[in-house]
Amino acid sequence: MDCSQVRDSFISGSPLSGAQLDAHLAGCPQCKALFEQDAELGRGLAAQASAALPMSDALRDPRRGTDFFGQLEQELGRETGPRAWLRSRPSRARFLFSLLPVLLVVIAGGLLRQRPDFAQYPMARVGLLLCVYFVAIALAFAKTLSELPRREPLRDYLPLLGFALAVPILAGFAPATEISRHAGAEGALSCFGYGALLTLPVALLLWAFDRADKPALRTVCLSAAGLGLSANLLLELHCGNGNPTHVLLGHASLGLAWLAMWIAVRGLSRA
């Protein structure tokens, strides 16, 4: 058994198994990597190879698909440095390490630097916000970093982006405490800068984890959704100003700002 047979099996949709495969994997770290994490890498690459070829061609001549693997190996061989190492991590590891800084940012920027009226803030609302925002953030990052093929991309990410942009706007018209309800619109720029600065490391990590040289539209939308929600969550815990104008300009606008930033990154990146 050789490497081409292993790759052919992924292209055809029937990965090999058995003693011969085990013997080959024992001496071939490249093929062994294809089978790690329930063959996540092998199946993902085969899906990309199949997408690059008509299905009939891939089935009729699987070796055309293996050309994709060969080209990919050449590209990976030219990649070195910290970002190449981060991009090569399994999807589960990249997902967990993208959520960790969000958790640290919310704790450091929100809970440890609480809003002045936090004692009057309804705990039920705190719990609801933490649950809803973290579920949405985790879903956005999971979809961003997943290597699974997507047949309906618009339906996959646009609703989540809409949710991430709409919820902070709605929060601007539902102040949590009576003190925040009577605050003025001042300080919006400070909140915007505070939220953007604290979520910048998360944005850089998402960019480093992205395996595409040019971010896909899905990556642009889902990353902006996760970053916007992260910024608004920490600002909700940190800022006691519930003035609608302040919230719209200093909090809710961060989702749009991150969307614009990712669009700019996509435009400046090489294909």
Residue 271 pLDDT: 57
Residue with tokens 């990649």: 79
Angle (CA) 52 56 58, round 5°: 50
Residue 247 pLDDT: 93
Nearest CA to 138 among 106, 166, 169, 168?
106
Check if the beta carbon of residue 87 is closer than 8 Å to that of residue 211.
yes
Residue 254 pLDDT: 96
Segment-wise mean pLDDT, segments of 10 residues, the chain, 271 residues: 75 75 80 74 70 46 50 56 84 92 91 88 89 94 78 75 91 84 91 96 94 87 95 93 93 96 91 57
Residue 150 pLDDT: 57
Residue 80 pLDDT: 65
Cα separation, 190 vs 125, whole angstroms: 24
Residue 77 pLDDT: 53
Contacts of 187 (CB under 8 A, 6+ apart): 239, 241, 246, 250
Cα separation, 39 vs 33, whole angstroms: 8
Check if the beta carbon of residue 165 is closer than 8 Å to that of residue 61.
no
Residue 196 pLDDT: 96
Cα separation, 182 vs 78, whole angstroms: 58
Residue 58 pLDDT: 42
Residue 36 pLDDT: 75
How many Cα atoms sit within 13 Å of 20 on the Cβ side? 7
Q: CB count, 10 Å around CB of 9?
A: 19
